[in-house]
Amino acid sequence: MMKKYVPFLVFIIAVLITHLGAQPTLDIRITDPNPEVIYVADLDIMQLASGNEFFEIALSNFDDQAYVDCKLTLSFYKDQQLLARIESDEFTIPALMGRRSANNVELMQDEFYLSQDQSQSIDVHESNIFTNEIDNLERDILSSGKLPMGHYELVGVLIGTFGTSETSDFFDITNPSFVELIAPGAEAGSGFKEEVYTEFPIFQWNGNGSEYQVVVFEKKFSLQSLDNVLNMTPNWKSEILENYSVQYPPGGTGEGGSMVIPLEFGKTYYWMVKMLVQTSAGIETINSEIWEFQLVDPVNLGDQQGAITRNMLIEFLRDLIGDKADELAKQLGDYNVKSINVNGQDMSIEDLYLLINEYRLKDVEVVDLILPTGSY
């Protein structure tokens, strides 16, 4: 007789498992997984209708049962300390609702609808920012309008008669703020013009962002203002770069398919770097200083070539061995380089310039350095 009840018991257990597995669930997803800057106004914690889309929240119920007296709580944490909290009014999750989602803007404007006719929704009851809980946070926010650097986590909790569903997502804020040029050239208007001896110079910079773009302009006339420079058509705009150096191309196209205008000896050029920052309000640009350099044909240097080559070598040695290069410079005195030979092959000053710049971009350890003595 017992065997007759086994299929019935299996059926009951299966129904219970299906029912338990179909209870409401909550999901949260940060829309931009790599935000570098977050403006507090874009989160719109205080419901000022100033927010931008930042995260998405989804609620699912595939059960044939409705759930009443549910509450939703969203909590923001900075380095595990509570920063802000959003709490909803009590609401009902309709039976067989399926999956419903809304972004943070819709949520804060009470437009998170759970039914097709919009009769059921999640409405925000209370929202607070707890800046006093974190040292100097209020001061940093008031001075910049941005969330300070740190690790942030968004935790969502859904509570109802079914129990609790909890989910979270996280993001890191870096707040990129500076981009500095290294070579070639000097700040425009400083009175110093560095001479460059190749039509394909290597541009080097440093910054604390993740994406950069190099822009090069020809100086058209001596009294040209820097504001006018920024409004000119550039000779070249690089593609978006993630490293800190790039060489001027010999031809082809630049960003957006634009043609590369070759650099010409005898002319002066401006260059700058744009740092592209991902923010909650979209992509923002931070510009470096504008530097300038003069392009000089090494063929026309004549007797200056030896002195210039020597100075280049000393500068290269200074990069490699630091202040010790100054003693070597004294030993060289007024000697000039008459010929250049690398690995048994003659080399022009232009090729030497490119070779030195290649080494400047690498980590080089000096194991031994010998300067031959004698008459040359």
Mapping DSSP to helix (H, G, I), strand (E, B) and coil, where does residue 225 land? coil
Q: Are residues 28 and 120 in the same domain?
A: yes
Query: When comparing pLDDT for 325 and 2, which is higher?
Result: 325
Q: Are residues 329 and 214 in the same domain?
A: no
Terminal-residue alpha carbon distance, the chain: 114
CA distance 50 to 322: 53
Which pTM does this prediction carry? 0.64
Q: Tens digit of pLDDT for each residue in 59-88?
A: 999 999 999 999 999 998 888 888 888 999
By CB neighbour count within 10 A (0-12 exposed, 13-18 middle, 19+ buried), where does 205 fall?
buried
Domain limits for position 226: 179-296
Q: How many domains does the chain have?
A: 3
Weakest mean pLDDT among 108-122, 161-175, 251-265, 352-366 = 352-366
> Which whole-number Å values give the CA distances from 40 to 26, 172, 257, in the listed order?
24, 14, 37
**Mean pLDDT for the stretch of residues 285-294:** 93
Q: Is the pLDDT of residue 301 over 80?
A: no
**Domain final residue, candidates 281, 296, 311:** 296
Q: Are residues 337 and 212 in the same domain?
A: no
**Mean pLDDT for the stretch of residues 17-44:** 74
Which DSSP letter does residue 286 get? Answer: E
Whether residue 373 lies inside any domain: the answer is no
Q: Are residues 200 and 160 in the same domain?
A: no
CA distance 355 to 361: 10
DSSP per-residue string spanning 15-44: HHHHHHHTS-EEEEEESSSS-SB-BHHHHT
Q: Under 8 Å CB-to-CB from 245, ≥6 apart: which residues?
A: 202, 203, 204, 205, 361
Q: Is the pLDDT of residue 303 over 60?
A: no
Q: Rounded to 5 degrees, what are φ and ψ at 206?
A: -140, 155
**Domain final residue, candidates 152, 173, 194:** 173
Mean pLDDT for all residues in the chain:
78
Q: Are residues 122 and 203 in the same domain?
A: no
Query: Is the preceding omega at residue 184 within 30 degrees of 0, hence cis?
Result: yes
Q: Is the pLDDT of residue 10 over 60?
A: no
CA distance 92 to 107: 16
Q: Tens digit of pLDDT for each residue in 130-176?
A: 766 555 666 666 666 778 888 989 999 999 988 899 999 988 888 88
CA distance 349 to 355: 10
Q: Are residues 202 and 154 in the same domain?
A: no
pLDDT at 17: 41
| Percent of the chain whose predicted confidence (pLDDT) is above 90 | 32
Name the packing angle between helices 324-332 and 304-321 (round to 10°): 160
What is the band of 376 on the pLDDT scale with cuts at 50, 70, 90? very low
Q: Rounded to 5 degrees, what are φ and ψ at 85?
A: -145, 140
Q: Is the pLDDT of residue 201 over 70?
A: yes
**Domain final residue, candidates 268, 296, 324:** 296
